[in-house]
Amino acid sequence: MTLHELETPVLVLDRIKMERNIARLCGRLAPFGVTLRPHVKTNKSAEVTSRIGAPGTPVTVSTLKEAGYFLDHGWNDILYAVGIVPSKLPHVEDLMRRGARLTLLLDNVEAARALAVWCRERALSVPVLIEIDTDGHRSGVKPEDPSLLDIAAALGDEEITGARLAGVLTHAGDSYNCRSAEAIEALAEQERAGAVRAAERLRAAGHRAPVVSVGSTPTAHFARSLAGVTEVRAGVFVFFDLVMRGIGVCDTDDIALSVLCTVIGHQREKGWLITDAGWMAMSRDRGTAKQPVDQGYGLVCDIDGKPLSDLVMIDANQEHGIVRHRADPAATPMLPIGTLLRVLPNHACATAAQHGAYAVVAGGTALEAQWTRFGGW
């Protein structure tokens, strides 16, 4: 079977490009002597994750459903990298009773106290990382914030039962807003230095903090030093996307994910091609809108995955995509009804989340396999 025989829209994964992307990051991190703990929220697939590391290797998840899925498929060293709250602790306990070696994350005294009490009551030992804010992007406490030591004190250093402080974690999410390699390098050093400083403060106060976890796809590729870091997390590096292309982390040809769609109509006076892939197939993500080159809802390629000159999906309805020349509607080629196109996504995580499977190819249009993926919480 080939892509020409599939009913569209379809999520297409180029295995050759994916494996090249994985090898690139693994090769880059190898000299630093750190552990790669991939963030599997991007791919949500045992088949994809097994190409990064065999079952049993460390992974990062963003939902407890992901934790359960990967536990069922042989991955038991799991970091749940979203702040824990009491309502999710019964689910955590179930996963641990089933054999998961879960590490949890938090950034406030209230959650630390609640977790400590819960662990003692159930005679469970749970390693915990404190989230550090190194760039003002999202959650966490600043490396010099006095509350860092208060959180650690609320957790304690329980060896047998209880919440056990294991170290610190940070995510340089602001790297997605960088506009040059030099800016990403600087943010990578800021990320590293902030996390290491927080761990040093904890140790100086008498707490054990063996884990220093950092990571984002941009900083993982541009860090010049990882001194003091024990593990690096990244997720979208497996597929890459137009946002990563826009900040110079990858080239367009590195993007392994696309959405196969069909031309179903024309609006000639507007210079529009209408396709059967709207925002339900591409997602609403417009991550390139603030970049120097706005890719609309995605960059349009031919069936072989080669970009068509300045064609982008400029707009999207639920099940309809509107494709037009980037600058000149009159230059839009009125491709025949039934023409198959592939659209590269702005954000691989968001686009993949719209689909239940990957149609796997190996650089061409022949269908090599179909790999399932899951969604939801």
Strand partners, 260: 10, 342
Per-residue model confidence (pLDDT) at position 267: 97
pLDDT over threshold 90, residue 162: no
% the chain with pLDDT above 90: 97
Per-residue model confidence (pLDDT) at position 42: 96
Per-residue model confidence (pLDDT) at position 158: 65
What pLDDT band is residue 287 in, cutting at 50, 70 and 90?
very high
CA angle 47, 50, 52 (to 5 degrees): 125
Per-residue model confidence (pLDDT) at position 323: 98
Per-residue model confidence (pLDDT) at position 30: 97
Task: Report DSSP letters for 24-41, one per residue.
Answer: HHHHHHGGGT-EE--BTT
Tell me what the mean pLDDT of segment 43-62 comes to: 98
Tell me what the mean pLDDT of segment 144-154 comes to: 97
What pLDDT band is residue 159 in, cutting at 50, 70 and 90?
low
pLDDT over threshold 90, residue 138: no
Token pair belonging to 82: 């979203």
Task: Report DSSP letters for 295-341, one per residue.
Answer: -BT-EEE-TTSPEEEEEEEEEE-SS-EEEEESS-GGG---PPTT-EE
% the chain with pLDDT above 70: 99
pLDDT digits (tens, 9 = 90+) for 26-45: 999 999 999 999 999 999 99
pLDDT over threshold 90, residue 140: yes
Q: Please report the domains of the chain, with CATH numbers, ordered by start residue.
A: 3-9+249-372 (2.40.37.20), 16-239 (3.20.20.10)
Per-residue model confidence (pLDDT) at position 298: 98
What does the mean pLDDT of the chain come to? 96
CA angle 328, 332, 336 (to 5 degrees): 170
Where b means 16+ CB within 10 Å and e means fewer, 21-49 reads bbeebeebbeeeebbbbbbbbbbbbbbbb
What pLDDT band is residue 161 in, cutting at 50, 70 and 90?
low
pTM score = 0.95
